[in-house]
Structure 1
Amino acid sequence: MASSMRSLLSDHRRYFEAFRSFLSNSTEHQCMQEFMDKQLPGIIARIGDAKSEIKILSIGGGAGEMDLQILSKFRARYPGVPIINEVIEPSAEQITKYKELVAKTSNLENIKFVWHKETSSEYQNRVMEKKEIQKWDFIHMIQMLYYVKDIPATLKFFHSLLATNAKILIILASGNSGWGKLWKKYGPRLPRNDLCLYITSSHLTQILDNLGIKYECYDLLSTMDITDCFIEGNENGELLWDFLTETCNFTATAPPGLKAEIMKDLQEPELSIRKEGKVLFNSSMSFIVIEP
């Protein structure tokens, strides 16, 4: 029965297992790396001009892999300039992994790390209560807006924190990806969690337009190998099913008809391509750069 399904976010251990499976089967990090190498240096070219230090705010920094990539570009562009890197991350487990990564990474001199175990809304409330508005030179939100309840208010708040020449970088699912089509069709039949919104760049750019906020949007192709999803009882496939549907133990709890419908759609050209015997889900991403 559908009522036995529950959100993947209700089980943090299962969520991180599914997330790790997604990362190992997708080109997401390679796609982000391509953006960091080719686009980011130009985007940050003027951010630190005439500044004695650069202040970076990471919202939902996770385990820090992408944060350190971003920091490496700043160090290359502004050698010797001190950097303050504050991280907002609600998961204690992820913060621990982030700290471990920093401890074993060289060339991080001149960078001060500060971690806060809180959500973006908790950070916002804390700042507003203290009335100590800190301006930032670069704010990034990587794959985290799905977990924000009031996106327009969140964007307005962080936009108000931008210093001179500052930028906000947002990374999330492209409106042209398979995610958008999957969520639109099946979202109402999957377990909803008020901590997870089915949002893509199409929704986000509409919100930014309504707010009158200037931005640029870059789309890059990314794929996820979901071949194992079509092998009955495959452990990796089970985790990928969970991540695709945001449902804990989806194959064990979903009505057979629902799984069959999604399985059929996952093989359609609108959602996936076939290449060398593999089924590759379109998990393309959008990189949205916001200006003051």
Structure 2
Amino acid sequence: MESKLRSLFHDPEYYTKSFHCYAALSAKFSVLANWGETVFGEAVVDKIKVTLGENEELRVLGIGSGSGEMDMQMLTKLLRRFPLINNRVVEPALDQLVKYKALAQSEAHDLHGVLTCDWRQQTIDQYEKAGDSRQFHFISSIHSIYYVDDVDRSLMYLYDRLDPGGILLVVTVSDDSGFWRLWNHFPSFQDSLMTFTNSSHIRGSLERRGIPCTQYHQRSRVEITQCFDEASEEGALVVDFLTHVVKLKETAPAQLYKEVIEYLGSDHCSEKSADDVLFNNDWDAVVVCKPVD
């Protein structure tokens, strides 16, 4: 990364601010919620091949669960088949864990079967190094696999944590999304705290190890017209989230910033609709079913 540029991951407060700005524009949670109410049931809930005793819990692990919106959707769906769930959450950001706990409490009436929530303020790498060998029936990583030291190793670690018959769900940007094309075009934005990866990397890692997987594609567009308004504070925050750089406009050389804005508006990353610019936010869900021994 350019010497004057600073990754969002070195400023958690600013990361959260820019993320929520982007999420508000993309309606990210509603898109994921729709997926959770439709495809998730068929792709995950119906495919879990475990037999639980009368008082045995379904063990769930969420990696990088953030403030919990998607987890709540998935847990609610899982409860329709599995009445008892033990939910472990691994999330490094304290403010996100606080929001997740508040959300879980506010929706307790819908989660009566979740007997326990085990909160771990850790990265996945820290969780792995802690040496916990517990097995799970369902593991999810929703847009969080980017933030690991080694994607291949972390994928295999999560796969090893699955009980036979369990399912691993990994959601990442698509290999033809605007995110991936932007990151790939400006590799200097990559930081040691983030690995630029996409769904094809996840599939490839699994396939090299002979692990079958199924991919579900989700088309998504985000209206980012304000990114091209130099007076828009919200637009600047969205640019910062897209590039994962703190205050790009203020810290990047003028020519680099110009190139970023031009590339964002090009057909490599976006589409035009009348006077609006629609960013390609496509993502993929990769689902792995661990064979029963």
Tell whether the 8 Å contact from 1:273 to 1:281 is kept in structure 2 after alignment: yes
Tell whether the 8 Å contact from 2:88 to 2:118 is kept in structure 1 after alignment: yes
Unpaired runs of 5+ in structure 1? Answer: none
Write out aligned runs for 1:176-215 (5 A).
Answer: 176-188=176-188, 190=189, 192-215=190-213
Change (3 A) 1:16 1:10: same
Return the alpha-carbon distance in structure 2 between the equivalents of residues 230 and 6 of structure 1.
21
Return the alpha-carbon distance in structure 1 between the equivalents of residues 93 and 162 of structure 2.
25
- Give the letter for the 2:157 counterpart: F
Write out aligned runs for 1:113-152 (5 A).
Answer: 113-127=117-131, 133-152=133-152
Query: Which of the residues 96, 102, 105 maps onto 2:104?
Result: 102
SS in 1 for 2:180: helix
Write out aligned runs for 1:235-246 (5 A).
Answer: 235-246=233-244
CA deviations over 1:107-166 (Å, ceiling 9, x no partner): 2112021101111111111125xxxx2111100001101100111111111111211321
TM-score norm. by structure 1 comes to 0.93
Return the alpha-carbon distance in structure 1 between the equivalents of residues 17 and 25 of structure 2.
12
- Give the letter for the 1:272 counterpart: S
- Give the letter for the 1:104 counterpart: S
- Report the more deviating stretch, 109-118 or 259-268: 259-268
Change (3 A) 1:149 1:2: closer
Task: Please list every run of at least 4 consecutive aligned residues from structure 1 whose deviation after the TM superposition is greater than 4 angstroms.
Answer: none
Return the alpha-carbon distance in structure 2 between the equivalents of residues 233 and 11 of structure 1.
23
Instruction: Figure out how many residues of one structure are paired with residues of the other and give that number.
Output: 284
- Give the letter for the 1:290 counterpart: V
Return the alpha-carbon distance in structure 1 between the equivalents of residues 34 and 26 of structure 2.
14
- Report the more deviating stretch, 96-105 or 32-41: 32-41
Q: Say what the alpha-carbon RMSD is for the aligned residues.
A: 1.6
CA deviations over 1:207-253 (Å, ceiling 9, x no partner): 11222221111111112221111101211011011111111000111
SS in 2 for 1:77: coil
Return the alpha-carbon distance in structure 2 between the equivalents of residues 59 and 159 of structure 1.
13
Tell whether the 8 Å contact from 1:173 to 1:284 is kept in structure 2 after alignment: yes
Unpaired runs of 5+ in structure 2? Answer: none
